[in-house]
Structure 1
Amino acid sequence: MELRQLRYFIEVAEREHVSEAAVHLHVAQSAISLQISKLETELGVQLFERAGRNIKLTHIGKIFLHHIKTAIKAIDYAKGQVDEYLNPEHGTIKIGYPTSLASYLLPTIISAYKNKQPSVSFHLHQGSYSSLIESVKNGDINLALLGPVPPEDEEINTRILFTENLSALVPINHPLAEKKSLALSELRNDDFVLFPAGYVLRRIAVEACRQAGFKPKTASEGADMDAIKGLVSAGMGVSILPDGTFYDSTPRFTAKIPIEAPRVRRTVGIITPKTRELAPSEKDFYQFIKEFFTVLEHYQ
């Protein structure tokens, strides 16, 4: 059983089409068919069956695919560890992040680190709160910035880097737009623009409104920060967003107002796996992040 055969098998299995797999792999279709045939002969089972002009996995083929993908991921990880060990200053750092940390925090950290290690490259993975936690647990990535920081469990380490406030964002023509601060209960009759159900920032906003004595009326939803801000700018409602998303500027036709009661805050930090070692370049980056925010906190 050869590694090449296994990679061919995975590509064909996921595309359910030999010719499409051949195009993607830049290999002749006949070469892929030959290697799949050799693999089936060695295993003594049929992995694929015809389905019209396409092919699909047999039952045992599906079982084989599940385990082989895990094995290939482990092999690629091991090879990456070797490459990192041989030359950590030229490694690739995979890091996940949510939309709420994309505009300021992530670029600031990466820019500062690139000044220290210009040859290191980054592979950035944007995802939802829960998907990033799962990606660290299952080995897709080893580092993820998150806010709020989840509880530490048997699979992940957590580190809080800082805590930030959340503020109200209202249209510029809102009756409260000129206020220096507000109680969240003052927005009880407003329409809200929130993230969809399942997003952690929606949960934080809804919980804050509950503490203020009301349930927010959701008029519109946006799946990313720009969409939320754009809908507020268009007068579709008000929102509650982290202060870190306003570092560059407050969006046009809106006003940002600090919330004085209840105080709405979130932790921001980084998570890493407990069950895997970080690559040398990842360890160096992780240490840099810790020191970066320790210095920042000292000056603040």
Structure 2
Amino acid sequence: MDIKQIVYFLAVVDTGSFSAAAEELYISQSSLSKQIIALEKELGFLLFDRSKRKISLTSAAKVFLPHARRIKDEYYSMLANVAPFKASPSLSIIAIPVIAQYGIPSYIAQFKQAYPTVQLIVEEREASVILPALSSHQFDLAFVRDNYLDRSQFDYIIVARDKLKAILPRHHRLAERKQISLNELSNENFIMFDKGTVVHELIMDACRSAGFEPRIFYASLRVESILGLVASNSGVALMMEKVVEYHRHPNVVDVPLAETISSNLVLAWSKHHQLSEEAKSFITIIQKDSNRIN
């Protein structure tokens, strides 16, 4: 048994399926299955009931589960505590998939130039897994949106300020407007980001505050897919201004909303984990840019 098998087991438990866990872990489903089977063989019992369409934990797995969580938490806590004694210093950062749109590569380049001996690891993941990974000390820092961020658990600095805009087909009836209210879109089909993203939850909350439940025609994790469907007159979308600017599409227009629905990109870290000198140095690079941000 190794920590990788424990992590894989918990990923299946937390996502509810082998396919979703494999996607989250960036491995093939067959590789994941082989690791789970190897873990089951060593334990001497099955972890999942695979006889039904939706997998479920066996009775033995329910007993094993809290131990697995403690092993994972303790492992990453141990790594964090011994990190200052490593011969080769390192810094690990996890981010929602917007690194290019918000100019984060420039910060990474500045850090690598200033600290060439530090092993820098940057991974992009979906929002739903980032804060748990940060809390369990799998990563030192995280680029996330500030909406729904638990201020009692995390400190942060603002990297970029942003807000939602309406994304419409070029020949939409509202495309020439200088500003529109969210409730003017209440009868439209919505092309949305997938559940589990902060932007999805933010849009759902905003629409409900405007008095309607959005009629979701399609959901995707890919900006290009959303823009393409809007361009084909399949519906409208709400998207962050800086993301739209980065992914310009000739057949869509972006129109400001009358309501200000903000979402700032922040660099966050756990309040309950002592920052390494490398993490502090990266934070300093962001802080030096605070005048431009504010």
How far does residue 191 in structure 1 lie from its aligned partner after superposition? Answer: 0.7
> What is the TM-score normalised by the length of structure 2?
0.71
| Residue 291 (1) aligns with residue 291 (2) | no
Cα offsets for 1:201-255 (capped at 9, x unmatched): 1222122223333322111101233332333233321111111213434223211
How far does residue 15 in structure 1 lie from its aligned partner after superposition? Answer: 9.0
1:149–1:270 contact (8 Å) kept in structure 2: no
Distance 1:150 1:116, change over 3 A: farther
Q: What's the counterpart of residue 127 of structure 1?
A: 125
1:167–1:256 contact (8 Å) kept in structure 2: yes
Q: What's the counterpart of residue 49 of structure 1?
A: 44
- Equivalent residue in structure 2 for 1:192, among 187, 190, 197: 190
| Residue 267 (1) aligns with residue 264 (2) | yes
Q: What's the counterpart of residue 19 of structure 1?
A: none
1:152–1:158 contact (8 Å) kept in structure 2: no
How far does residue 163 in structure 1 lie from its aligned partner after superposition? Answer: 2.8
Q: What's the counterpart of residue 246 of structure 1?
A: 244
Distance 1:263 1:75, change over 3 A: closer
For residues 136-147 of structure 1, the aligned pairs below 5 Å read: 136-147=134-145
Identity across matched positions, percent? 20
How far does residue 9 in structure 1 lie from its aligned partner after superposition? Answer: 4.8
Distance 1:13 1:287, change over 3 A: closer
Q: Is there any run of 5+ residues in structure 2 with no aligned partner, and where? A: 10-30, 32-41, 47-59
2:73–2:136 contact (8 Å) kept in structure 1: no
Root mean square deviation, CA, Å? 3.3
User: How far apart are the structure 1 equivalents of 2:77 and 2:206?
Assistant: 42
Distance 1:228 1:102, change over 3 A: farther
Distance 1:152 1:13, change over 3 A: closer
1:208–1:262 contact (8 Å) kept in structure 2: no
Residue 177 of structure 1 aligns to which amino acid in structure 2? A
Secondary structure of the residue that 1:278 maps to in structure 2? coil
Secondary structure of the residue that 2:235 maps to in structure 1? coil
Secondary structure of the residue that 1:241 maps to in structure 2? strand
Distance 1:108 1:251, change over 3 A: farther
Secondary structure of the residue that 1:164 maps to in structure 2? coil
Greater Cα offset, 188-197 or 58-67: 58-67
2:158–2:293 contact (8 Å) kept in structure 1: no
Q: What's the counterpart of residue 276 of structure 1?
A: 273
Cα offsets for 1:31-51 (capped at 9, x unmatched): xxxxxxxxxxxxxxxx64388
How far does residue 179 in structure 1 lie from its aligned partner after superposition? Answer: 3.0
User: How far apart are the structure 1 equivalents of 2:196 and 2:2?
Assistant: 35
For residues 187-226 of structure 1, the aligned pairs below 5 Å read: 187-226=185-224
Q: Is there any run of 5+ residues in structure 1 with no aligned partner, and where? A: 1-7, 17-23, 25-46, 52-57
1:104–1:247 contact (8 Å) kept in structure 2: no
User: How far apart are the structure 1 equivalents of 2:98 and 2:273?
Assistant: 27
Secondary structure of the residue that 2:218 maps to in structure 1? strand
Distance 1:94 1:247, change over 3 A: farther
Q: How many residues align?
A: 250
Q: What's the counterpart of residue 81 of structure 1?
A: 84
Greater Cα offset, 120-129 or 63-72: 63-72
How far does residue 174 in structure 1 lie from its aligned partner after superposition? Answer: 1.9
Q: What's the counterpart of residue 21 of structure 1?
A: none
2:204–2:214 contact (8 Å) kept in structure 1: yes
Distance 1:216 1:142, change over 3 A: same
